[in-house]
Amino acid sequence: MKRKFLAVLLSALMTAAVFGGCGANSQAQSSGTAAASSNTEQTSSGSTSQKKLKIGVTVQSLSNQVWSGACSRMKELAEAAGNTLTYVSCDDTSSKQIEQIENYISSGCDVIMVNPSDPNAIETVCKQARDAGIKVMCWDNKMTNTDINWIIDNEKLGYMIGEQAAKFINEKFTDGKCEVAVLDYPQTQILLERENGILKALKAKAPNASVVAQQPAIDATGGLDAMETILQAHPNVKVVCCIGGGGAVGANEALKAANKIADNVGIFAADATNEELAAMLAGEANRMSVMITGTPKTIGETVYKMLVKLGNGEKFESQNVYREIFPITADNAKQYYTGK
């Protein structure tokens, strides 16, 4: 009887051990599943594809084809991804740009991009944005209160413009003697740096050329007006160096209207807008323009990726991200021209 009781007790203990083991395994499995579920939720919440961003952009002017084209492309990409992107022009007015940035802060933007009228004037309001947890990107200037600055070595770019113009002068004119006009925009620091680069290159590479006129021009209307004024005072100007594509387009129109398009007349600029490229391909006065990053569409796509990266908390190797620059002439304009 005693032996029978011990056998029953032993059997019961073995059964309890088996079920106890299963319970432990089940509990471990359950914990593992919960952990996996938790990890999945964390991965999901950290996914860049699921985070919807609110982005605010303010640029100097939307009359500039590069800025307007890039902003339009950014908005298309944002809407396609379910993000929100608003862009406005400050009309080259710092007080207006400060107000625009303040509006973006109060509306709860995740990222703000500024193309400054005056970078010093907006440092404080950009700091306010960052203090509020908003990421800030600057397009064109080295600013302090930003997460990244997307910039150009503007003196180097200007030097490239002047160097290409000097090459043309030395090929077309005996002893390199030629009258040159410069369409500048000293009101903006980065464009003043570009102008300085142009003048340095002309002095070094075409020392016998004479810069007889300098007029500000930031867009096509300004370029047209400036070039008409220059031609009245200096009808023998053959070469025009411009800090941007807007002025170059206007200068070309003025030269056409004055019937001065000739083999020894040339405009050298930056931006490589569709209008400049069309003039190159048509054999007009535009001879070379420095392309920065790419077409407005490419620029918009590049900027948008950077804004999304910022909005999702990703890091950049440096605060200052330099842009690629390269010359476009009639020889390679066709591959970048997107007009009809």
Going from N- to C-terminal start, the domains of the chain cover: 54-151+296-323, 154-292
340, pLDDT greater than 70:
no
Q: Give the pLDDT band (50/70/90) at residue 31.
A: very low
Who contacts 237 (Cβ-Cβ below 8 Å, separation ≥6)? 179, 180, 181, 212, 213, 230, 231
pLDDT in tens, 78-123: 999 999 999 999 999 999 999 999 999 999 999 999 999 999 999 9
Percent of the chain with pLDDT over 90: 81
Q: Is 206 helix (H, G, I), strand (E, B) or coil?
A: coil
6, pLDDT greater than 50:
no
pLDDT in tens, 122-139: 999 999 999 999 999 999
Q: Determine the Cα–Cα distance for residues 127 and 198; give it in Å rounded to an integer.
A: 34
Q: Determine the Cα–Cα distance for residues 113 and 90; give it in Å rounded to an integer.
A: 13
Q: Determine the Cα–Cα distance for residues 314 and 316; give it in Å rounded to an integer.
A: 7
Question: CATH code for 154-292?
Answer: 3.40.50.2300
Q: Give the pLDDT band (50/70/90) at residue 65.
A: confident
> What is the pTM for the complete model shown?
0.73
Q: Give the pLDDT band (50/70/90) at residue 164.
A: very high
Q: What is the mean pLDDT of the chain?
A: 88
β-bridge pairing 135-139 and 320-322: unpaired
pLDDT in tens, 172-187: 999 999 999 999 999 9
Choose the weakest-confidence range: 13-27, 52-66, 253-267, 271-285: 13-27
- DSSP state letters, 153-190: -HHHHHHHHHHHHHHHHHHHSGGG--EEEEEE-TTSHH
Q: Give the pLDDT band (50/70/90) at residue 214.
A: very high
Buried b (16+ CB within 10 A) or exposed e, 165-189: bbbbbbebbeeeebbbbbbbbeebb
Q: Which pLDDT score, from 0 to 100, does residue 19 have?
A: 36
β-bridge pairing 320-322 and 148-151: parallel
What number is the average pLDDT over the span 202-208? 98
Rounded to the nearest 5 percent, the helix, strand and coil shares of the chain are: 55, 20, 30
Q: Which pLDDT score, from 0 to 100, does residue 63 have?
A: 86
Sort 206 into a burial class: Cβ within 10 Å, 0-12 / 13-18 / 19+: buried
β-bridge pairing 325-329 and 286-292: antiparallel
**Same fold? 54-151+296-323, 154-292:** yes
Q: Determine the Cα–Cα distance for residues 190 and 195; give it in Å rounded to an integer.
A: 9
Q: Which pLDDT score, from 0 to 100, does residue 50 have?
A: 55
CATH fold for the domain made of 54-151+296-323: Rossmann fold (3.40.50)
Q: Which of 83, 86, 88, 111 is nearest to 99 (CA)?
A: 88
Sort 46 into a burial class: Cβ within 10 Å, 0-12 / 13-18 / 19+: exposed
